[in-house]
Structure 1
Amino acid sequence: MGPEGKRLLNIIILGFGFMFMFTAFQTCGNIEQTVIKSFNSTEFHGSGYTSMAIIYGVFSASNLIAPSVVTLIGPQFSMFFSGLLYSGYIAMFIYPYTWTFYTASVLVGIGAAVLWTAQGNVLAINSSDRTIGRNSGIFWALLQFSLFFGNLYIYCAWHGHDHITDKDRRTVFISLTVISLVGCFLFFLIRKPEPPPASSSEVTESLLPTESLENSSDSSDPLSLCSQAVDAFVQACKMFTTREMLLLSVSIAYTGLELTFYSGVYGTSIGAMTRFGKDAKSLIGISGICIGVGEILGGGVFGLLNKSSRFGRNPVVLLGLIIHYLAFFLIFLNIANDAPLAPEAGTDLQAFITPSIGVALFCSFLLGLGDSCFNTQLLSIIGFTFRDNSAPAFAVFKFIQSIAAALAFFYSNYLLLQWQLLILVLLGFLGSTTFFMAEWAAEASRPQSDYDSI
């Protein structure tokens, strides 16, 4: 296998590792608010929305130090140990207590920052200007298979249940914990890529050396590693003030808000609709599957379009905005306004049309498809624009996204559906506009010979 084949294999392994981990974690996030409402314990007083707000709040703050951590221990060990924190959060639901719930939320927020910074680094050092779009699409598609498998399991396990028993909960979360641990150990199969020839256009990584995939102990002395760690933190702070990142920050924030909506709020809202019948709870799993199908389709198709289109990334982002606007309008018509805040018994209210399961699931598919439009293009443009400093760039990306997600999970405790949708509509428009400006700037700096290969 040649050097390019080894890099592609690393991307595939990376995608499978994240697929297993987030089969567990995204499924956990999708169902936890519903599960919490059904706890048969008076000692537990947690909120799934509050937990997610804590996770993303800590996540955002930790992103400023994540490049330093990845520099010190290497991306491979960074992803492994971060994955263990994710597994611990999921395992906590087997025997939940309020203090362990919120403590685990803090820890997984720290782990998430390190995990995604390391992922961005591995993606960058295994890609070139020619392959960054393809590799972003492959990784995104593999990652989003997590929504399919985890939620299919939830549907099969909870079909016909109008109440989630303690036994149901323990069985599900033991299984999810094991799945998450499998993903952690897959990261050890990633090998260090061969250094590219000096004359090629391969993506290089000046901040985190490729040898860090092996975590070689002889690559540098402790003082040098500390210096690199400090430099990583400084570069992450400086990245905020660059014109490119300021333009991209609005669209990144939008992905954080809609991440909250499709991963937590919308599934909870479907499960609260009593007019969907006694299988409303199991529909949460089907909704997650439909989101996953949209994400997988988008990751594959838009990754290829990103590679072959001469028109750049803007048409894909515009398509994503149109898809999301259609989804938001149909959700507004189909889902009761108080569904995100309804108690375990659900809501009997009706929106503007007779509630339709088909429309609800179609909207789930549209949410996933539109999300993949934005995220594949953001991964691609950041990997291209900041290819020489990918670790701090991806850290800033996740910092902005997680702040927005934390804010959205916080206001999800209080805002009715219509106001949440209005916020998404407004920020989606602004984010798309600023993305177009960033892409035009990237096109102006791109050599003419590269237009067919980005």
Structure 2
Amino acid sequence: MVIGSLCICFYVGTYIRPLTIPLYFGSALFGLGLGALWTVQGYFITVNSLPKDVLRNTGIFLALYQSSLTSASLFYFLMVRGSLSITWETRIVVFSSLLAISFVGVIAFSLVVHPWTGKIPLGPETIISERREQPSVGSDHTRGSRSPDEHPKTAETHRRPWSAFLSTVKFIWTRNILMLTPYFIYIGFEQSMWSNIYPTALGYTVRFGILREAMVGLNGLFVGLGEILGGVFLGLMGTRLNAFGKDGALLGGLVVHLLACYMAFINTPVSASRGMTEYPAFVGPRYPNVSTRI
């Protein structure tokens, strides 16, 4: 978690003075760091939860996690509100503040206590193969050197990093993961939509007037509020969802997400994600001279 959060800190720092090569390199590090961070955070939630509480704890985590999006987006909105472009002084204040807060998060992660105690057991298939390779207790090789009670302890051992990596690669090609692959691709497109494409389209829509840069922060604020409400709902309804299944919650989330995408489609010009445009959307801003109504 510390290494992943440091990669994210580097990505935030590249925006203080944006240059092409550092931005691309920082984006690659951001993807690696965020992937590692989310994986380990999910592991921490799992090992510190009972089966009946895992949905509730996940909802609480998501609500706390997305609170940073709302606060940072509100801060950005207040800093750039009424400006047609981001000045050098505003950039320094905004991204230096975010970078400092990110380092506080790194320190917090470094203080987290490991949830595991003792040795990590291997998978069942590894245990069976190891036991087959072990000589029998009554053979000449082991007679007098190992008791029957000691044999099961050989199943408890540390998994080395390379072994864990190979096991993960093999796990990717299992039937369940292959069936979930379209879902993972969908999540990737969804993250790109709300974190990159839609905010860019808002910032490039000239009809928003001098509010167009601030709309980027306002979008992040409402996205964060929506995800917090979703996390709170998941936490409050976790027990019932475990009892009646998760299909209803997943289908409900899918309907809400499709509705949000449709509203974004009709409220922004088609070419806004590719550059500055004055073309109207299907349902554009009601007041083109919105600068007079701040």
Letter in 1 for 2:273: P
Match of 2:274 in 1: 341
Residue number in structure 2 paired with 1:324: 257
Which of 314, 326, 334 is the matching residue for 2:247? 314
- Cα pair 1:127 1:135 within 8 Å, conserved: yes
In structure 2, the residue matched to 1:117 is 39
Q: Residue type matched to 2:13 in 1?
A: A
1:202-241 Cα deviation digits (max 9, x unpaired): xx96469xxxxxxxxxxxxxxx86x521221122122223
Alignment of structure 1 residues 169-188 onto 2, 5 Å: 169-188=91-110
Q: Distance in 2 between matches of 1:194 and 1:101?
A: 37
Q: Report Cα offsets for 1:289-336 as digits up to 9, x if no partner.
A: 000010000011023323223221111111111112212222222211
Residue 239 (structure 1) aligned to one of 151, 171, 188: 171
What amino acid does structure 2 have at the position aligned with 1:144?
A: Q
3-state DSSP of counterpart to 2:14: helix
Q: Does 1:142 align with 2:64?
A: yes
Q: What residue is the counterpart of 2:284 in the other structure?
A: 354
Q: What secondary structure sits across from 1:260 in the alignment?
A: helix
- Is this contact kept in 2: 1:273–1:347, CA < 8 A? yes
Structure 2 residues not aligned, in runs of 5+: 124-156, 288-294
Letter in 1 for 2:231: G
Query: Which amino acid letter does the alignment assign opposite residue 7 of structure 2?
Result: L
Q: What is the rounded CA distance, in whole Å, between the counterparts of 1:313 and 1:207 in structure 2?
A: 30
Per the alignment, in what secondary structure is the counterpart of residue 280 of structure 2? coil
> Which amino acid is 1:81 matched to?
I
Contact 1:276 1:356 in 2 (8 A): no
TM-score, structure 2 normalization: 0.79
The whole-number CA distance in structure 2 between the counterparts of 1:329 and 1:108 is 29
1:289 maps onto 2:235 in alignment: no
Amino acid at match of 2:193: F
Contact 2:44 2:115 in 1 (8 A): no
CA distance in 1, matches of 2:62, 2:174: 26
Pair 1:278-2:210 in alignment: yes
Aligned residues: 253
Please list, as runs of the form range in 1=range in 2, the aligned pairs for 1:5-404 lying within 5 A after superposition. Answer: 79-193=1-115, 206=121, 228-309=160-241, 310-342=243-275, 346-355=276-285
Q: RMSD of aligned C-alpha atoms?
A: 2.4
By how many angstroms is 1:120 displaced? 2.2
**What is the rounded CA distance, in whole Å, between the counterparts of 2:60 and 2:23 in structure 1?**
34
Q: Cα distance 1:126–1:81, how it changes in 2: closer, same or farther (>3 A)?
A: same
Find the aligned partners of 2:271 and 2:192 in 1 and give their Cα distance: 17
Measured in 2, the distance between the counterparts of 1:206 and 1:282 equals 51
Query: For structure 1, which runs of at least 5 residues remain unmatched after alignment?
Result: 1-78, 197-203, 209-223, 358-454
Take 1:353 and 1:171, find their aligned partners in 2: how far apart are those partners? 35
The TM-score normalised by the length of structure 1 is 0.52
Secondary structure (helix, strand or coil) at the match of 2:104 reads helix
Aligned equivalents of 1:320, 1:356: Cα separation in 2 = 29
**Structure 2 Cα separation of the partners of residues 177 and 282 of structure 1:** 20
Counterpart residue identity of residue 347, structure 1? T
For the 8 Å contact 2:53–2:238, the answer to whether it is kept is no
Q: CA deviation at 1:134?
A: 1.1
Amino acid at match of 1:304: L
In the alignment, the residues of structure 2 paired with residue 329 and residue 100 of structure 1 have an alpha-carbon distance, to the nearest angstrom, of 35
Structure 1 residues 354 and 89, CA, compared in 2 at 3 Å: closer, same or farther? closer
Kindly provide the amino acid, as one letter, of the partner of residue 250 in structure 2.
Answer: V
Residue 339 of structure 1: SS of its match in structure 2? Answer: coil
Q: Which amino acid aligns with 2:27?
A: S
Closer/same/farther in 2, CA of residues 92 and 304 from structure 1, 3 Å limit: same
Q: Tell me, yes or no, if the aligned pair for 2:14 and 2:23 is still in contact at 8 Å.
A: yes
Partner of 2:130: none
In structure 2, the CA distance between the partners of 1:352 and 1:133, relative to structure 1 (3 Å rule), is same
Q: Does the 8 A contact of 2:67 with 2:228 survive in 1?
A: yes
Question: What CA deviation, in whole Å up to 9, does each residue of 1:393-441 have, x standing for no partner?
Answer: xxxxxxxxxxxxxxxxxxxxxxxxxxxxxxxxxxxxxxxxxxxxxxxxx
Q: Is the 8 A contact 1:133 1:306 kept in 2?
A: yes
**Counterpart Cα distance in 1 of 2:285 and 2:279:** 10
Q: Indicate the SS of the match to 1:340.
A: coil
Pairwise CA distance, 1:86:
1.4
